[in-house]
Amino acid sequence: NAGVTQTPKFQVLKTGQSMTLQCAQDMNHNSMYWYRQDPGMGLRLIYYSASEGTTDKGEVPNGYNVSRLNKREFSLRLESAAPSQTSVYFCASKERGAVVFDYGYTFGSGTRLTVV
Amino acid sequence: QKEVEQNSGPLSVPEGAIASLNCTYSDRGSQSFFWYRQYSGKSPELIMSIYSNGDKEDGRFTAQLNKASQYVSLLIRDSQPSDSATYLCAPRPYGNNRLAFGKGNQVVVIP
């Protein structure tokens, strides 16, 4: 039971560099999400994908792009990293269930990104 | 107004006591809620979900939902040091609404 797998777990970038955070889930979930978490700020939604082929902006999308490659994979790209993007990034997935049988989000283990 | 509000200040409770956490929300369309626990340096994990007004109990955890007053709470009975974590409240998404988590309630259980 892999659940949600994120890679890499740690990354250090220089300002202006680009990188892609990878996320894959093996639970056949329709919806996938990218969050960032900063001290005192809680989890903030960057982008989400309600289903394969669709993506939508969340609360803090500036500086990021996403790709829902297929039902399993949802990647997050930083085109030109900035120190303000230093954060812990979590990918999550969720199945659309009936209210009474809703099991919530399943999170990956996170990517700790530092931009210097 | 932020969609979900939680008091993020640390709540210190002695071992064996009851920890009470509150979460208020602004979207009256939210029908059900999740409570997540997040240990330091780890990812959030689901501990409770509630969709009906009233109480829902699961072991030492009780979630309470009051849709009229737009708040949801979590009680942790017989608190243990292993309960020391941050507890996040989140509404179940519906329609095209954007998802929101509260900032979390940090709980510190003192042995």
Judged by CB atoms closer than 8 Å, whether chains meet at A40 and B88 is answered as: no
Contact B72, B66 (CB under 8 A): yes
Nearest to A42 among B43, B93, B103 (CB): B103
Residue with tokens 């989140």: B90
Judged by CB atoms closer than 8 Å, whether chains meet at B32 and A109 is answered as: no
Q: Give the pLDDT band of residue B99 (cuts 50, 70, 90).
A: low
Lowest mean per-residue pLDDT among A96-110, B33-47, B66-80 = A96-110
Work out the average pLDDT over B23-39: 88
Judged by CB atoms closer than 8 Å, whether chains meet at B101 and A109 is answered as: no
Query: For residue A7, which phi and psi values (nearest 5 degrees)?
Result: -140, 145
**Quick one: DSSP state of residue B98?**
P
- Cα separation, A47 vs A42, in Å, equals 16
- pLDDT beyond 60 at A44: yes
Report for A45-49, A80-84, B9-13: range of highest mean pLDDT: A80-84
- Cα separation, A92 vs B93, in Å, equals 13
Query: For residue A84, which phi and psi values (nearest 5 degrees)?
Result: -65, -10
User: What pLDDT score does A4 carry?
Assistant: 95
Judged by CB atoms closer than 8 Å, whether chains meet at A42 and B51 is answered as: no
Q: Is A103 on the interface with B (CB under 8 A)?
A: yes
Arithmetic mean of pLDDT over chain B: 89
User: What pLDDT score does B51 carry?
Assistant: 87
User: What pLDDT score does A97 carry?
Assistant: 62
pLDDT above 90 covers a percentage of chain B that reads 60
Lowest mean per-residue pLDDT among A41-50, A52-61, B1-10, B98-107 = B1-10
Judged by CB atoms closer than 8 Å, whether chains meet at A104 and B36 is answered as: yes
User: What's the pLDDT tens digit per position in A2-22?
Assistant: 799 999 999 999 999 999 999
Of the two residues B63 and A98, the one the predictor is more confident about is B63
- pLDDT beyond 60 at B53: yes
Lowest mean per-residue pLDDT among A19-28, B3-12, B47-56 = B3-12
- Cα separation, B23 vs A114, in Å, equals 31
Q: Is B42 on the interface with A (CB under 8 A)?
A: yes
User: What's the pLDDT tens digit per position in A50-106?
Assistant: 888 899 999 899 999 999 989 999 999 999 999 999 999 999 998 766 555 566 788
Contact B16, B79 (CB under 8 A): yes
Chain B positions touching A106 (Cβ under 8 A) are: 46
- pLDDT beyond 60 at B96: no
Locate the chain B residue with the closest alpha carbon to A34.
Answer: B99
Which residue, among B43, B51, B65, B88, would best test binding to A if mutated, counting the most A CBs under 10 Å from its CB?
B43
Lowest mean per-residue pLDDT among B10-14, B50-54, B95-99, B101-105 = B95-99
